[in-house]
């Protein structure tokens, strides 16, 4: 007997579109990933997933986490040439209900649900403040940020575009990085550095400053070469981790995130032990008079492969209770 599925959940970023089904007991089933560039629209990807996974028995509801701001039930993707609305999906697939949520808002909803094995401590193992706000951030194709407010009536995700806030250099090397990116792009946001393309830009500038030929063509090669001991790649990755720590500490202050700061995205898990080697946490805690405040905030690397799917499934359950 085939299972009865209560809903479709998804996580659509700039590179991959991931989908899964939620059964009657709330379990996430049949997760699959699709390269977004191979499809003309979000509806085309959903259609293929449902046809090959759910068959004729379509789930009645859907929650899709998307990379970009959701305004009045519509999304124009930040790093994809796609645009979709909840109304479009209702009409196309005849769902009973559809909700689009920001992908990092979904991850924020997921953070309290993680098991210990889904997380890796960055820095000291600290106890989070009870029922305190938390923040999740991550670098991939872009740089996402969201918060979670804990209330007596439940958790409320706070979607933001904090990844596009301005980059604040902390030393002369970073001033030079800012200057060169400013000349090339104009305004320099945190996403300009804390993303896959940003990591490669940091590497290129490190090579220029050290008068060394640029030998690596993308961020994947930079990460792999850093792990193999390439000096310029190591400089770039260490600088990336340091900048990520500074931004994470600023966000902890902005959100009052005594419930913890969670690092996700496509890049951080690939940095392995380098993220926990000290560059990140040292800059996270370097907040002047407020250093004692952030020193008490735990920072964790999210190891779960589908954090936004977990959050979308949680949002789906909340829809069912309404």
Going along the chain from its start, the domains and CATH numbers come out as: 5-108+306-321 (3.30.420.40), 115-303 (3.40.367.20)
Say whether 186 counts as a known binding-site residue: no
Give percent above pLDDT 70 in the chain: 97
Instruction: Write down the pLDDT at residue 312.
Output: 95
* Cβ neighbours for 158, distance < 8 A, ≥ 6 positions apart: 105, 108, 146, 147, 148, 149, 255
Q: Each residue of 207-259: pLDDT tens digit?
A: 999 999 999 999 999 999 999 999 999 999 999 999 999 999 999 999 999 99
Contact 223, 275 (CB under 8 A): no
Say whether 147 counts as a known binding-site residue: no
Instruction: Write down the pLDDT at residue 68.
Output: 83
C-alpha span between 297 and 320 (Å, rounded) = 34
Comparing CA positions, the residue from 60, 97, 68 lying closest to residue 84 is: 68
Contact 261, 250 (CB under 8 A): no
Instruction: Write down the pLDDT at residue 296.
Output: 97
Query: With 60 as the cut, is the pLDDT of residue 322 above it?
Result: no
Say whether 12 counts as a known binding-site residue: yes
Say whether 53 counts as a known binding-site residue: no
Look at 148-162, 164-178, 228-242 and tell me which has the smallest mean pLDDT.
148-162
Q: What are the angstrom distances between the C-alpha of 24 and each of 5, 29, 40, 299, 322?
A: 6, 11, 32, 34, 16
Instruction: Write down the pLDDT at residue 1.
Output: 46
Say whether 88 counts as a known binding-site residue: no
C-alpha span between 268 and 93 (Å, rounded) = 35
Over the chain, what is the mean pLDDT? 93
Contact 14, 265 (CB under 8 A): no
Contact 191, 79 (CB under 8 A): no
Look at 37-46, 48-57, 167-176, 275-284 and tell me which has the smallest mean pLDDT.
48-57
| Alpha helices for 94-230 (secondary structure H) | 103-110, 172-185, 190-193, 196-209, 219-227
Say whether 11 counts as a known binding-site residue: yes
Instruction: Write down the pLDDT at residue 151.
Output: 87
Query: With 90 as the cut, is the pLDDT of residue 267 above it?
Result: yes
Query: With 50 as the cut, is the pLDDT of residue 117 above it?
Result: yes
């Amino acid at each position: 007997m085939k299972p009865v599925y209560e809903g479709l959940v998804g996580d659509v970023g700039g590179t991959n579109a991931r989908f899964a089904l939620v059964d009657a007991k709330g379990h996430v089933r049949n997760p699959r990933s699709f390269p977004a560039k191979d499809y003309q629209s979000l509806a085309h990807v959903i259609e293929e997933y449902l046809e090959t996974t759910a068959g004729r028995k379509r789930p009645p509801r859907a929650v899709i986490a998307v990379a970009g701001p959701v305004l009045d039930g519509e999304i124009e993707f930040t790093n994809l040439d796609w645009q979709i609305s909840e109304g479009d999906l209702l009409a196309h697939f005849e769902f009973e209900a559809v909700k689009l949520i920001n992908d990092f808002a979904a991850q924020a909803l997921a953070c309290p649900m993680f098991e210990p094995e889904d997380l890796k401590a960055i820095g000291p193992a600290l106890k989070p403040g009870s029922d305190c706000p938390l923040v999740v951030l991550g670098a991939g194709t872009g740089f996402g940020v969201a918060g979670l407010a804990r209330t007596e009536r439940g958790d409320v995700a706070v979607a933001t575009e904090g990844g596009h806030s301005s980059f604040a250099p902390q030393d002369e090397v970073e001033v030079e990085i800012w200057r060169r990116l400013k000349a090339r792009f104009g305004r320099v946001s945190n996403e300009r550095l804390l993303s896959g393309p940003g990591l490669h830009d940091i590497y290129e500038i490190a090579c220029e400053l050290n008068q060394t030929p640029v030998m690596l063509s993308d961020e994947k090669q930079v990460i792999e070469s850093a792990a193999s001991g390439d000096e310029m790649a190591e400089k770039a990755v260490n600088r990336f981790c340091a900048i990520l720590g500074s931004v994470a500490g600023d966000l902890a202050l902005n959100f009052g995130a005594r419930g913890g700061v969670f690092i996700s995205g496509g890049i951080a898990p690939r940095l392995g032990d380098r993220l926990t080697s000290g560059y990140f946490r040292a800059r996270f805690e370097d907040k002047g008079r407020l250093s004692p405040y952030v020193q008490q905030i735990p920072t964790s690397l999210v190891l779960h492969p589908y954090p936004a799917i977990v959050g979308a499934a949680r949002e789906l359950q909340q829809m069912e209770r309404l």
